[in-house]
Structures are given as C-alpha cells and as structure tokens.
Amino acid sequence: MHLIHPALVHFSVAFLVTGGLLEAAGILMRRQGWEQAGAVLLMAGTLFLAPTVVAGFLAQNSVAGFNGGGAEVNLHERFGLVLLGLFAALTLWKGWNRGRLPADHKPLYAVLVLAGVLLTMVTAWIGGHLVYGYGIGVTSG
C-alpha cells in the first residue's frame, strides 16, 4: 500500500515545479505563452496533489516503522498539508476570477506560486530523506 505514494509524487513534483516556475516567470516577465502553458501544468500538479496526500497518509499508516524518523515524518506531513491548502487556495482565487486574475493581483499570485514551488521541493527532499536516510518503507524497523 505504501508504494502508491512514491508512484504519485513524481507527477505532483514535476507538474508543480515546472508549471509554477513557468507561470510565475510568464507573469513577472510578461510572457503570455509561458504564463498560459505554466497555468495548465500547475493545474495538473494541483490535481495530482490531492491523491498524493491521501496516498501519503496510507503510506504513513502502512510502513513497518519510522526508524527514529517520526519527527521528520510529522514535518513532511504538515508541509504536504500546507502545500495542498496553498495550491487549492491559489486555484480558488483564480477560479473566483473566472480563470483570469486582474493585473494588479498577478504579482502577489506569482510570489505565492514561487513560495509553493520552494515548499514542494523542500517537502519532496524530506520525503526522499525519510526513505534514503531513515529507510522508512524499505527496511523492517
């Protein structure tokens, strides 16, 4: 059961990081093509995030043990939930404006997207450390 999470995270991470960087760069550098392409990828990443989080909880409840990495598991979980909240809120913000943010909203939106990209990378790094540092899910501790 814990193997569903590692299978899904690749899609969330790839779409959120690529899409977020592209959309934010498009907004900040006024490149409409980048902004539109990035927005589609970011939406795909946000859609993958919900099942990734659900699979994360399944993994947490089904691995043999945390091998002393319990605090890092909790941090990883909290960051994952903040990520889901942040990207869901950004999607709602855009949806509220029928998919087109007013020009004066865009710089703040871009900064929050970049913060989300950074948090995605930190969360993914911690996830990798759980497996390759503590052996969670791959050893019997």
Distance (Å, whole) CA 14 – CA 124: 11
Structure tokens at 83: 């990520």
Which of these segments, 21-29, 93-101, 103-111, 123-131, binds ligand HEM (CB under 6 A)? 123-131
Q: Token match 């959120």: residue?
A: 16
Give me the 57-86 binding string for ligand HEM, x by CB under 6 A, dash otherwise.
Answer: x-xx--x---------x--xx--xx-x---
**Nearest approach, Cβ of residue 119 and ligand HEM (Å):** 8
The answer to whether 22 and 45 have CB atoms below 8 angstroms apart is: no
Judged by beta carbon, residue 15 or residue 109, the one nearer ligand HEM is 15
The answer to whether 45 and 86 have CB atoms below 8 angstroms apart is: no
DSSP, collapsed to helix, strand or coil, labels residue 62 as helix
Judged by beta carbon, residue 38 or residue 52, the one nearer ligand HEM is 52
Counting residues that bind ligand HEM (by CB under 6 A) gives: 29
